[in-house]
C-alpha cells in the first residue's frame, strides 16, 4: 500500500469554476512526491482551471484539496505558495525591468535551487544574466519564468504549457531542462502541454481531461504508444519512434 506521507497533493471529487459556471466536475487526482504527471487535453477542456483551482484562484463548490494530508480547500492562495506549491502560469510572469539575475534573486528561498543550480539547468540564462527581462526572447522569458519558480524551492511545480508558441529548437532545449528537473533533481512536476509527445516523454504518468473531467489515466510511456487513445481524445496521430 502506498504510504500516505508520500502524497503531496490530493484532489477529491472537486467541483470548481468561475462564478456560476462549473468547469471541473467530480475531479479526483493525486500527486506523490517525486512523481511527474502530464495533463493533456484539447483547448478549453479545463487544464488551466485545474491549476488555478489547485492554487486557490477559482470558486470551489464541491470536494476537497489536501496538501501533505492537510485540508487546504479554504486556504488563501499566497499561503498555498508558502506551503510549497509552485506555479508557472500560462502567461509568462517575469519582472521586465529587472535583469535575469535580479529576477531570480528576488524569488530566492532556502533549498537546493539557487542561482548556481538554476543557471546550470538553463545555461542560456547564465549567458544572459545581465540582460533585462524585456530584452529576452520568448523562449528565454519562459526559461526565466520557470527558473524563478524554482528559486522558491517548491515541493511541487505546476507548469502550464511552458512550450507554447516557442520555436522548435527552443522547445527541444527547454524540454531537456524540464526533463532534467524531474529526473536529476527529483522535482515533482505536473505538466500541462499541447505537445503530447514531448509531455509524455518527460513524465511517468498522464491524465487526459475532457470537459473538466479526467477521462483517461495511464503510464506516460503506455499512452505514448497508444495512438488510438491519443487520436480519440487529442486528435493526434503520433509517429511511433
Ligand X SMILES: Nc1ncnc2c1ncn2[C@@H]1O[C@H](COP(=O)(O)OP(=O)(O)O)[C@@H](O)[C@H]1O
Which residues are near ligand X by CB under 6 A?
A: 18, 21, 23, 41, 43-49
Question: What does 18 interact with, of ligand X, Mg ion, none (CB < 5 to 8 A by kind)?
Answer: ligand X
Name which of 156 and 158 has its Cβ closer to ligand X: 158
Name which of 49 and 103 has its Cβ closer to Mg ion: 49
Name which of 48 and 53 has its Cβ closer to Mg ion: 48
Q: Cα–Cα distance between 200 and 6 in angstroms, integer?
A: 22
Q: Cα–Cα distance between 88 and 86 in angstroms, integer?
A: 7
Q: How far is the CB of 47 from Mg ion (least distance, A)?
A: 5
Q: How far is the CB of 127 from ligand X (least distance, A)?
A: 32
Q: Cα–Cα distance between 101 and 150 in angstroms, integer?
A: 13
Residue 120: all three cell numbers together = 546550470
Q: How far is the CB of 128 from ligand X (least distance, A)?
A: 29
Rule CB under 5 A: is residue 103 a binding residue for Mg ion? no
Q: Cα–Cα distance between 232 and 222 in angstroms, integer?
A: 15
Using CB under 5 A, pick the residue from 36, 48, 103, 188 that binds Mg ion. 48
Strand partners, 9: 31, 67
Question: What does 139 interact with, of Mg ion, ligand X, none (CB < 5 to 8 A by kind)?
Answer: none
Among 176, 181, 155, 151, residue whose Cα is nearest residue 166: 176
Q: What is the DSSP string of 32-79?
A: ETT-EEEEE--TTSSHHHHHHHHTT-SEEEEEEEEETTEE-TT--HHH
Name which of 23 and 100 has its Cβ closer to ligand X: 23
Q: How far is the CB of 177 from Mg ion (least distance, A)?
A: 21
Name which of 101 and 164 has its Cβ closer to Mg ion: 164
Q: How far is the CB of 142 from ligand X (least distance, A)?
A: 17
Please report, as ranges, the residues that interact with Mg ion according to CB under 5 A: 47-48
Amino acid at each position: 500500500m502506498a504510504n500516505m506521507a508520500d502524497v503531496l497533493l490530493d484532489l477529491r471529487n472537486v467541483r470548481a469554476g468561475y462564478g456560476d459556471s462549473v468547469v471541473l466536475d467530480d475531479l479526483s487526482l493525486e500527486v506523490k512526491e517525486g512523481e511527474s504527471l502530464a495533463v493533456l487535453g484539447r483547448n478549453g477542456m479545463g487544464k488551466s482551471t485545474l491549476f488555478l483551482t489547485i492554487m486557490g484562484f477559482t470558486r470551489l463548490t464541491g470536494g476537497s484539496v489536501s496538501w501533505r494530508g492537510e485540508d487546504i480547500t479554504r486556504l488563501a492562495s499566497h499561503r498555498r505558495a508558502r506551503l510549497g506549491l509552485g506555479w508557472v502560469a500560462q502567461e509568462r510572469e517575469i519582472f521586465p525591468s529587472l535583469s535575469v539575475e535580479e529576477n531570480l534573486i528576488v524569488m530566492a528561498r532556502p533549498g537546493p535551487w539557487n542561482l548556481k543550480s538554476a543557471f546550470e539547468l538553463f545555461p542560456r540564462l547564465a549567458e544572459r544574466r545581465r540582460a533585462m527581462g524585456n530584452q529576452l526572447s520568448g523562449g528565454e522569458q519562459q526559461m526565466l519564468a520557470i527558473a524563478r519558480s524554482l528559486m522558491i524551492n517548491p515541493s511541487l511545480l505546476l507548469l502550464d504549457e511552458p512550450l507554447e508558441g516557442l520555436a522548435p529548437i527552443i522547445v527541444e532545449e527547454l524540454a531537456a531542462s524540464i526533463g532534467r528537473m524531474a529526473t536529476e533533481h527529483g522535482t515533482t512536476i505536473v505538466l500541462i502541454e499541447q505537445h503530447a509527445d514531448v509531455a509524455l516523454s518527460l513524465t511517468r504518468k498522464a491524465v487526459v481531461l475532457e470537459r473538466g473531467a479526467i477521462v483517461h489515466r495511464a503510464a506516460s510511456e503506455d499512452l505514448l504508444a497508444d495512438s488510438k487513445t491519443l487520436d480519440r481524445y487529442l486528435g493526434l496521430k503520433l509517429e511511433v519512434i
